[in-house]
Homo-oligomer: A and B are copies of this chain.
Amino acid sequence: MQDKKQRPLLHKKKEGLAPGALVYVGDTIEEQTSIRTHRYSNGYYGQEEGFSKTEEGTLWVEITGLKDIREIVRIAKEFSLSNLSLEDVFSTDQRLKVDRYDSYLSATLRILDSKETPEQQLSLFLGKNWVLSIAENKSDVFEPLVRQLATNQSKLQAGSAGMLFHSLMDRVVDQYLVKADELELKTEHLEEQVITSPQSTDAPTIHQHKAEILRLRRMTSPLREILTTLLRSESEYLDKNTLFLLKDIQDHALWLSEECDMLRETVSGIMEVYLSSLDMRMNSIMKVLTIISTIFIPLTFLTGLYGMNFATMPFTTAWWGFYAIVFCCILVVALMVIYFRRKQWW
């Protein structure tokens, strides 16, 4: 729940601003900007802090933290990013999307929250020979890629900027898949719990789990469309090889969308089972009450009858009177028991 409460009225902040105005509208404290430049070509890999443009090799400029707006704008201008693109970078509540500009391709994605970092927005820009990634916070999502880049003769090192762009997207989408797997696991756990011991769970828990599924579903719902756009974009920056790999991500996106739908439906079913368990519980409670009442209320009447203070009552003076009544009671109980057995209440 907590990540939702972090963004109260984002749209209010931005209301009435001219389009293209660069104001950070996120809700967490802005992180210090840190810039890393990876420069590589087949057989070569270099990494440096900060950024200074050179022409050789493929470039990946990795920016984390949005505090130093001026520096980010400077780098963006080096790559001739449009103002609208930049505005998207700083409005950290964007829907996932892909935009085609004249000299580059931009993708807006979201990195899920991990133990250390909150959910954050990631902007990717792909141009000729360069990739620019701007994230709100530092995270170790891309570390495996850095390692692959640094490995001489690795596929990624030998590949185009488009290949790197693909790998970055792939890492992000993989996160969603892992999250979906976790949700599935938790769904199965809930399912089992509801079936075996319904009283150990409750409706709010199920509801919150469903809300989490809905949130993942909503966040990732534009993915399919995005990948279709990319696959059809015929951009010069995406070589045929990369397009082929992107099809794989598209498969993942389809899987994700179906998974979310199935999870949602399953959780609805779990809620239904939980509610029916409440009903069954009620039934069993009422049965106990009814059995006890139905057996003892008539008996109480019987004893009440002989508790009356009439001068003459039959059998009151006989020594076996009391025992006769007790016998009657036992008889009534026996009959009742047989009756309830017949009705299969026991």
**A residues in contact (CB < 8 Å) with B:** 1, 4-5, 8-12, 14-20, 84, 94-95, 97, 99, 144-145, 148, 154-156, 166-167, 170-171, 174-175, 177-178, 180-182, 184-185, 188, 191, 194-195, 199, 202-204, 207-208, 210-211, 214-215, 218, 221-222, 244-245, 247-248, 251, 254-255, 258, 261-262, 265-266, 269-283, 285-290, 292-294, 296-301, 303-319, 321-322, 325-326, 329, 344-345
14 residue pairs A–B, Cβ–Cβ below 8 Å: A11-B177, A11-B181, A16-B174, A84-B244, A95-B258, A97-B251, A207-B270, A218-B262, A278-B280, A281-B283, A285-B345, A301-B303, A304-B307, A310-B315
Residues of B within 8 A of A319 (CB): 311-312
**Is there an interface contact between A285 and B287, defined as CB atoms closer than 8 Å?**
yes
Residues of B within 8 A of A292 (CB): 293-294, 297-298
Chain A, interface SS category: helix
Smallest CB-CB separation from A242: which chain B residue? B19
Residues of B within 8 A of A1 (CB): 188
Q: In the complex where A12-B178, A283-B281, A301-B296 touch, is A18 in contact with B154 (Cβ < 8 A)?
A: yes
